[in-house]
Amino acid sequence: MSPPNVAQGRDRLRIAIQKSGRLADPARALLASCGLSWRESRDRLFCYGETLPVDLLLVRDDDIPGLIADGVCDLGVVGRNVLQEQGQDRVESGRVPAYREWRALGFGGCRLDIAVPDAWDWQGPQQLGGKRIATSYPALLRQWLQAQGIAADVVLLSGSVEIAPRLGQADAICDLVSSGATLSANQLKPVLTLLQSEAVLAGPVEAFDDVRGELADLLLRRLDGAIRVRKSKLLMFQASRNDLPTLLPLLPDAEAPTVMQVDGADRMALQALCHGAVTWQRLEDLKRAGASGLMVLPVEGMLA
């Protein structure tokens, strides 16, 4: 199945996601957890939405902001780093903003960091003055340098930025970092963070003024529920009424628990939605404070 042309697509919502790479599987899984499903096309670039009129376009992540700007796609799942870089590039070249972040999605976390050779005795940003900094994020780096009042050369590289200092192409780098292992393998150390990034749902600056608006609202409500419950667990246990004052402070991340009387006036059953990690340690602490029959259940969905 090939995508309908842009003019025909207005009664369906089209979402661009990465075809393959770090964000591809989690983006699909998150959308699927919102109740969407698709019929795969043979060319695997376009997936036709079956449960809702929401189709997927599978593309390179770098193309997603442009596809939204051109109206080819309505929404996209992309790293904040890519969205902001291309947004800043538009600003630099005098074009109007054409998209914005609609939601942070809680996966694909990384930082855009400046890293310098291990051997540098780092004193602060002014040390970068007159130096060459290699990056694939020239617009964000230039914006930051300008804000700091630092004059440095921005060396644009499309990949393998971390080996630039060893090759003598640059003195420092500005690149994405998650664990830091790549940096240390290249005798570099992170010294500054320009941007905290994660995958985001990107969309146009203005809301849709046709049927896509309702579809987008529905999707956002489901996404908010899915994001909220992702790390949540339902905790159930029993306790005597007298122990409640000691037990409840052990659930600071829980929504107001439901408390039910089990038998007589003393025995209570509690049900609490916890948004933090429910570890063995926490369960043991609750048990010591009087809880019994502790049960932890996964939460599949939630509509506030």
Where does this chain bind ligand ATP (CB under 6 A)?
18, 21-23, 60-62, 79, 81-82, 108, 110, 176, 178, 197
- Choose between 61 and 162: whose C-beta lies nearer to Zn ion: 61
Residue 178 interaction partner, one of ligand ATP, Zn ion, none, beta carbon < 5-8 Å per kind: ligand ATP
Span near Zn ion by CB under 5 A; candidates 35-43, 57-65, 175-183, 279-287: 57-65
Span from 62-70, 116-124, 196-204, 274-282 in contact with Zn ion (CB under 5 A): 62-70
Residue 63 contacts Zn ion per CB under 5 A: no
Question: Nearest approach, Cβ of 133 to ligand ATP (angstroms)?
Answer: 18
* 62 is a site residue for Zn ion (CB under 5 A): yes
Residue 110 touches which member of Zn ion, ligand ATP, none, C-beta under 5-8 Å by kind: ligand ATP
CB atoms within 10 A of CB 197: 22
Q: Is 24 in the site for Zn ion (CB under 5 A)?
A: no
Nearer to ligand ATP, 110 or 229 (CB): 110
- Whole-number minimum distance, CB 9 to ligand ATP, in Å? 23
Nearer to ligand ATP, 107 or 208 (CB): 107
Task: Please say which residue, 61 or 113, places its beta carbon nearer to Zn ion.
Answer: 61
Residue 128 Cα to chain centre, angstroms: 30
Cβ-based burial of 216 (10 A; exposed 0-12, middle 13-18, buried ≥19): buried
Q: Which stretch binds Zn ion (CB under 5 A): 55-63, 127-135, 195-203, 268-276?
A: 55-63
Residue with tokens 């004193």: 123
Torsion (CA) 229, 233, 236, 237 in degrees, nearest 10: -140
Are 58 and 19 contacting, i.e. CB atoms less than 8 angstroms apart? Answer: yes
Among left, alpha and beta (phi > 0; psi -120 to 50; other), residue 108 is left
Work out which of 30, 58, 61, 201 binds Zn ion, going by CB under 5 A: 61
DSSP-assigned beta bridge partners for residue 192: 114
Query: How far apart are the C-alpha atoms of 171 and 167, rounded to whole Å?
Result: 10
Phi (first) and psi of residue 210, to 5 degrees: -135, -160
Q: Is 101 left (phi over 0), alpha (psi -120 to 50) or beta?
A: beta
- At its nearest, how many Å lie between ligand ATP and the CB of residue 203? 17
Cβ atoms 211, 11 nearer than 8 A: yes
18 contact choice in ligand ATP, Zn ion, none (CB below 5 to 8 Å, kind-dependent): ligand ATP
Q: How far is the CB of 77 from Zn ion (least distance, A)?
A: 13
Q: How far is CA 254 from CA 35, 231, 271, in A?
A: 26, 12, 10
Please state the closest distance from residue 58 (CB atom) to ligand ATP, in A.
10
Binding site for Zn ion (CB under 5 A): 61-62
